[in-house]
Chains A and B, each alone.
Chain A
Amino acid sequence: MNIWLNFLIDSVAFGATFIYGSTGEILTEKAGHLNLGIPGVMCMGGAGGCLMLNMIGKSGLPPFMIVLLGMLGSVLFSVLCGLIYSFLTVSLRANQNVTGLALTTFGVGLMKVIMIKLDATVYLVGPKEYYRWPFAARQDSLQALGILFFLAIAIALIAGYVLTRTRVGLNLRAVGEAPATADAVGINVIRYKYLATCIGSGIAGMGGFYYIVDYMASQEAYLSIEALGWLSIALVIFALWRPPMTIIGSTVFGFLFSCSSFITNIPGITVTMAMKPLLRMLPYVVTILVLIITSIRNKRENQPPASLGQSYFREDR
């Protein structure tokens, strides 16, 4: 029993990485932009945060400030990536897929350059004490959950609320569904696209930061962020473009992703080395299943934003 509960909590904590990534991507996609640069953005977010921590880690600032400044560094770097992406795709109307993929390549590469130069003993300052408030003192698995985890949940819920219950959300959805229509009613399409992409990138970037300094708190953590970024994009489909759904989805993904290592802990089950890659496939299989099911049901509300991937130019005929 306890083994399962521990595993569930661990999945939830791990899943917060996906919540950041896919909530960010959902906001971007709701503006009609498919940002395949999210893995790169998450890497840059992680690198930016660690770079900041590396600079202030030994300055003796209060833990609260260290966490805050780390997040700030992470957001700064990832928003910069978002700006590059939105300048290319919104203003210059470059192909979104190509731009996104380029951004991923760029982000991953630059992160590796930065992370190699950093000192892990400095940027991984007291993850337990700093980041796992209020459960830092607990001895059981609850200590895996902390302030950044709750922030992820809050961001997903707030994003869901904004999208469905506010005027800004209505406008943003209109921009993604039919930019010409949104433009005709006086919505500043360009501004919405820029803001959605940059805010989305900022949120996604914190996912990388969370994964390195909080969840994993290890020196090699940054190497697997790119894979998590791709999963976050898949999770957007799983969540049917609804941020609160990413909370459930990320748990499922977290569960499936770590399944291969967890399953060996269960007595009576033996996993050969050959089976592990197969088990690691599970999140993607589930994503395809969700795609199939929603396609069969063919409900308009569960489809991607109608103008996803298309550039908008007002005077285009």
Chain B
Amino acid sequence: MGDGKLEKQLAMQMRGITKRFGPILANDHVDLDVYRGEILAVLGENGCGKTTLMNMIAGIYFPDEGHILIDGKEVVIRSPKDAFEHKIGMIHQHFKLVDLFTAAENIVLGIEEKGEYNLKKVNARVAEISQKYGFHLDPTKKIYDMSVSEKQTVEILKVLYRGADILILDEPTAVLTPQEITRLFSVLRRMRDDGKSILIITHKLNEVLEVSDRVAILRKGEHVATVNTAETSEAELTELMVGKKIDLNISRSDPVNPQPRLIVRDLNLVSPEGLQVLRDISFTANGGEILGIAGIAGSGQRELLDTIAGLQKPASGEIVFHNPKKDKPVTFFHKSLKRVRELGKAHAFHDRKGNEVSFEGMKRRQIRKWVESGDVLFKEDEVMDLRNKNPLEIRQLGIHLSFVPEDRLGMGLVASMNITDNMMLRSYRKGSAGMLNRKHPREQAEEIVRDLEISTPSLTTPVRKLSGGNVQKVLVGREIAFTPKVLMAAYPVRGLDINSSYAIYNLLNHQKEQGVAVIFVGEDLDVLLALCDRILVMNGGKVTGIVDARMATKEEIGLLMTKSERREERAANE
């Protein structure tokens, strides 16, 4: 030793940091050292207090106990402003940008500089910095016109513009494409070589190993270990994180008697802006099978699911649903004789032996007798076109969409309502005479809390008070609780820790074994390959291939995901 490594100076020390939210202990006496010129990965399960800890450095929260030392001197960080004064900048997972402002306005927001306020000068300086680090950004573009990765670029530029020495990135890669991640990492390395300290919170172990110098692991609010990245392995990190060795294999059963459940033919969708977001999509989803959908974020996965669920109307194409409903006695749902007669004209009735029955010319009394005996069976249409149905009708057919958006609370759940009430958002139409049936949803809520190990103080706690991972479990668990026939799950494990992810995978597998057609949109190729039976790969709104997950390789899928003339063009230009 004795070379440059030993000269590393402490940039920041945390001593005995403790933070409580009500009865929940988020951070328990955390000690953490950060050096100059290093990338420190902060690793931990969901709800282990990583983000809370970082928020205390950034001045969003104030610790209940403990001190923070910067350059050996104790400091008090009461607000983000204090944090900026100590040259600490945080890039939040949920971007903190003002939608109505331009990139440049967002970047200078809150900076107290002497002299005149001149946006032109700011624009020039922003352009200069973004050029230096290789970002592509128009400083005069409004945030509401930007893509997710552009917004992140603004966030990073914001911190760079302030000349921060300690940068905290909260799960920066969650929303980026592989190319953008590579670019981000090279920027981070450049900043490290510049002497800056970078703290990066991430779930992806391969990224931890790729980019960081050291890894600090948090478990249940406690700092359990800090290891040098060069001396560790994925297995060791996982073990430290979850506290026990876990089986990384997902059990995958062979599909039993797969029957076509949902057939999509030549589906085209045009967005309100006039962009063609889906082009000639054709595939079949079978019951008893998990169909994976792979693709870079924004390749049309979400639009495809939305269209199937009836939330968007396709420009052309067919969506055909094969309903596996069994024969049911007529009495079951058509009490009125008039209705029965009308139905008899349009549909075939048959008796228990399978002979066709016609009410044509039959007397009232006779029809009533037959119907009440339960001997006349009504065969439902097996095949139906979903295009003309509204989302509610599609739901009632058993086609359930559980979409986990980037903003978990924005779609699907009502943040200020509790778990039971959120369950009722799906069942409030049930119950008699305008009265709500609360008992059943409560039982279901208890069930998913138990089965998915959702940690919540009580069933009556508003879901916004739960941690992100738990919110997500509620979102996915609710769809599963209503015994679907087609279950579409988009990013159900986004941002979840390993244990919760596996709970979700098991749930999907269980649904598959029950004969449900599962459509799983995922981000992690390893998971897709291990969980799914077939994988449909999308790219730019088109299907570039459907592969057998048991035979396919990661490279093969990766190639299908990125195969695009435009992308190749860009690569050639660079």
Interface residues of chain A, those whose CB is within 8 Å of chain B, are 165-167, 170-171, 173-174, 177-178, 180-188, 300-301, 306, 314-315, 317
Bits for B478-498, please: 1 = Cβ < 8 Å to A, else 0.
000000000000000000000
Q: Are A170 and B105 in contact (CB under 8 A)?
A: yes
By DSSP majority rule, is chain A's interface helix, strand, loop, or mixed? Answer: helix
Q: Are B99 and A300 in contact (CB under 8 A)?
A: yes
Closest partner residue, chain B, to A178 (CB atom)? B98
> Cα distance A189–B450 when bound, in Å?
41
Q: How many residues of B contact A (CB 8 A)?
A: 32
Closest partner residue, chain B, to A175 (CB atom)? B98
> Cα distance A181–B90 when bound, in Å?
12
B81 at interface, CB cutoff 8 A? yes
Which residues 401-429 of B have a CB within 8 angstroms of A? none
Q: Are A177 and B158 in contact (CB under 8 A)?
A: no
Q: Are A177 and B98 in contact (CB under 8 A)?
A: yes
B227 at interface, CB cutoff 8 A? no
Q: Are B109 and A174 in contact (CB under 8 A)?
A: yes
Q: Which of A165, A306, A314, A317 contacts B100 (CB 8 A)?
A: A306
Q: Taking the nearest CB of chain B, how far is it from the CB of A6, in angstroms? A: 42
Q: Which of B61, B96, B465 contacts A181 (CB 8 A)?
A: B96
> Cα distance A181–B97 when bound, in Å?
6
Q: Are B99 and A186 in contact (CB under 8 A)?
A: no
B110 at interface, CB cutoff 8 A? yes
> Cα distance A193–B410 when bound, in Å?
26
Q: Which of B60, B90, B105, B110 gathers the greatest number of chain A CB atoms within 10 Å? A: B110
Q: Are B84 and A180 in contact (CB under 8 A)?
A: no
Q: Taking the nearest CB of chain A, how far is it from the CB of B161, in angstroms? A: 11
B117 at interface, CB cutoff 8 A? yes
Q: Which residues of A contact B108 (CB under 8 A)?
A: 167, 170
Q: Which residues of B contact A314 (CB under 8 A)?
A: 60
Q: Are B60 and A174 in contact (CB under 8 A)?
A: no
Number of A-B contacts (CB under 8 A): 79
Q: Are B80 and A178 in contact (CB under 8 A)?
A: no
Q: Taking the nearest CB of chain B, how far is it from the CB of A174, in angstroms? A: 5
Q: Are B105 and A178 in contact (CB under 8 A)?
A: no
Q: Are A184 and B144 in contact (CB under 8 A)?
A: no
Q: Are B110 and A186 in contact (CB under 8 A)?
A: yes
Q: Are A300 and B96 in contact (CB under 8 A)?
A: no
Q: Are A184 and B98 in contact (CB under 8 A)?
A: no
Q: Which residues of A contact B80 (CB under 8 A)?
A: 183-186
B192 at interface, CB cutoff 8 A? no
Q: Which of B84, B92, B117 contacts A165 (CB 8 A)?
A: B117
Q: Which residues of B contact A184 (CB under 8 A)?
A: 58, 60, 80, 90, 92, 96
Apart from A165-B117, A177-B98, A314-B60: 8 A-B pairs, beta carbons within 8 A: A174-B110, A178-B96, A178-B97, A182-B98, A186-B80, A186-B81, A186-B110, A187-B110
Closest partner residue, chain A, to B464 (CB atom)? A317
Bits for B78-112, please: 1 = Cβ < 8 Å to A, else 0.
01111110000010100011111100010011111
Q: Taking the nearest CB of chain A, how far is it from the CB of B282, in angstroms? A: 36
Q: Are B98 and A174 in contact (CB under 8 A)?
A: yes
> Cα distance A186–B142 when bound, in Å?
21
Q: Which residues of B contact A182 (CB under 8 A)?
A: 98, 109-110
Closest partner residue, chain A, to B84 (CB atom)? A186
Q: Are B158 and A185 in contact (CB under 8 A)?
A: yes
Q: Taking the nearest CB of chain A, how far is it from the CB of B116, in angstroms? A: 9
> Cα distance A203–B173 when bound, in Å?
48
Q: Are B117 and A185 in contact (CB under 8 A)?
A: no
Q: Which residues of B contact A187 (CB under 8 A)?
A: 81, 109-110
Q: Which residues of B contact A315 (CB under 8 A)?
A: 60-61
Q: Are A317 and B92 in contact (CB under 8 A)?
A: no
Q: Which of B79, B82, B101, B113 contacts A183 (CB 8 A)?
A: B79
Closest 9 CB pairs of A and B: A186-B81, A185-B110, A181-B96, A167-B117, A184-B96, A186-B110, A177-B98, A187-B110, A186-B80
Q: Which residues of A contact B83 (CB under 8 A)?
A: 186
> Cα distance A60–B364 when bound, in Å?
104
Q: Which residues of A contact B112 (CB under 8 A)?
A: 167
Q: Taking the nearest CB of chain B, how far is it from the CB of A90, in angstroms? A: 16
Q: Are B99 and A185 in contact (CB under 8 A)?
A: no
Q: Are B465 and A317 in contact (CB under 8 A)?
A: yes
Q: Are B105 and A300 in contact (CB under 8 A)?
A: no
Closest partner residue, chain A, to B61 (CB atom)? A315
Closest partner residue, chain B, to A314 (CB atom)? B60
Q: Are B117 and A166 in contact (CB under 8 A)?
A: yes
Q: Which residues of B contact A165 (CB under 8 A)?
A: 117
